[in-house]
Amino acid sequence: MPQTLSDFLTHQGAPTQLVKLLNGVTEACVEISTEVRRGALAGILGEAGSDNIQGEHQKKLDVIANDILLQAALDSGAYAVASEEMDEPVLAAPGTSGSDYLLLFDPLDGSSNIDVNVTIGTIFSVLRRTDAMFLQPGSAQVAAGYVAYGPATQLVITLGQGTAAFTLDKGQWWLTTERIEIPADTKEFAINASNARHWEVPVKRYVDEMLAGKTGPLGKDFNMRWIASMVADVHRVLTRGGTFMYPRDSRDPSKAGKLRLMYEANPMSFLVEQAGGASTNGQQRILDLAPTELHQRVAVFMGSRHEIERVTRYHQ
Ligand code: P6P
């Protein structure tokens, strides 16, 4: 009989308050999974603004997911909560938090894929409260994870002692991969190639070498994937290796990239590094970046270590 998530967290020696918070967050993801799988039948797909049969104001699924997660986090003792869907963090009412943990999340990443029934996911990150509050480097995370709402509903999580995967069955999370290991080399990469004309030179060089295949400088053929759902693309990288890239590009030089540092790149980088992979912004380790704004964006190159080392070397 595989281990449950609660047994796993206890075996990891996680403090009681962290176990309580992580159980609350992952139980909220079970509820979100149910909503996601009801899809159009629940009349909650598509744009907000219309009313459902009860005459209630319909919400987009990512707003519903945000509400579910926010309430679960506060009920599970979070000191404060930050979300891609909320401009400002929410603080627990004075005297009610019971913990010093900060929770950050992207409640439903890849939501443009909801209406076309493609895998989407919830990404979360846990920090300890300090004077800096949320503006701490990714290396300060005490836990991080995501839930992929795919053919199976899977939780991938780390507490800094490796990256493990769980599969949902009848409301329970069952350990299905005890220690994920990303191969250091790969023949697969993920990038939105329609942006190629906007890429910086090191990215163009790196991708062109892979496209050159067996007769090119790398001496092997590569395969490309782009699901346009970070959780799905990164889950594939964790499961069979590869790289996931979203570089900055010339469309808007003021933007460091498209993806968000605090609740997308940092938790995913923690998971990838704990699985033996690497993650940089092209210049430096993402987990070392000192954040200045809660919703700041970052360029992302993560996955098989030797490949990330190469593309980062090309930037230097
Ligand atoms: P593009 C989804 O909107 C998201 O934030 C990530 O999940 C995904 O990797 C990326 O944006 C897709 O971006 O430009 O290819 O649509």
Token pair belonging to 286: 């993402």
How far is it, in rounded angstroms, from Cα 66 to Cα 88?
13
Which of 85, 105, 109 has most ligand 1 atoms within 8 Å of its beta carbon, as the pocket-test mutant? 109
**Main-chain phi, psi angles of 264, to 5 degrees:** -125, -65
CA 257 to each of CA 96, 139, 142, 254, 284: distance values in angstroms, whole numbers, following the listed order: 37, 20, 25, 9, 14
Residue range 39-63, pLDDT digits in tens = 877 655 555 555 544 455 556 888 8
Residue whose CA is closest, atom 1 of ligand 1? 228
Q: Are 177 and 8 in contact (CB under 8 A)?
A: no
Taken in order 250, 221, 269, 86, the sign of the CA dihedral is positive
Token pair belonging to 70: 């926010």
Please state, rounded to an integer, the average pLDDT across all residues of the chain.
Answer: 93
pLDDT in the model for residue 59: 62
Residue range 67-87, pLDDT digits in tens = 999 999 999 999 999 999 999
pLDDT in the model for residue 50: 53
pLDDT in the model for residue 228: 96
Q: Are 164 and 274 in contact (CB under 8 A)?
A: no
Q: How far is the CA of 253 from the centre of ligand 1 (A)?
A: 18
Q: How far is the CA of 110 from the centre of ligand 1 (A)?
A: 6
**104-136 in b/e burial notation, b at 16+ Cβ within 10 A?**
bbbbbbbbebbeeeebbbbbbbbbebeeeebeb
pLDDT in the model for residue 94: 87
Give the residue from 84, 81, 138 showing the smallest Cα distance to 106: 84
pLDDT in the model for residue 77: 96
The three-state secondary structure class of 129 is: coil
pLDDT in the model for residue 95: 84
pLDDT in the model for residue 48: 57
Q: Are 80 and 129 in contact (CB under 8 A)?
A: yes
Q: How far is the CA of 132 from the centre of ligand 1 (A)?
A: 29
Q: Which residue has the higher pLDDT, 123 or 38?
A: 123
Which of 246, 248, 301 has most ligand 1 atoms within 8 Å of its beta carbon, as the pocket-test mutant? 246
Location of structure tokens 């980062």: 312
pLDDT in the model for residue 287: 98
Residue range 214-246, pLDDT digits in tens = 999 999 999 999 999 999 999 999 999 999 999
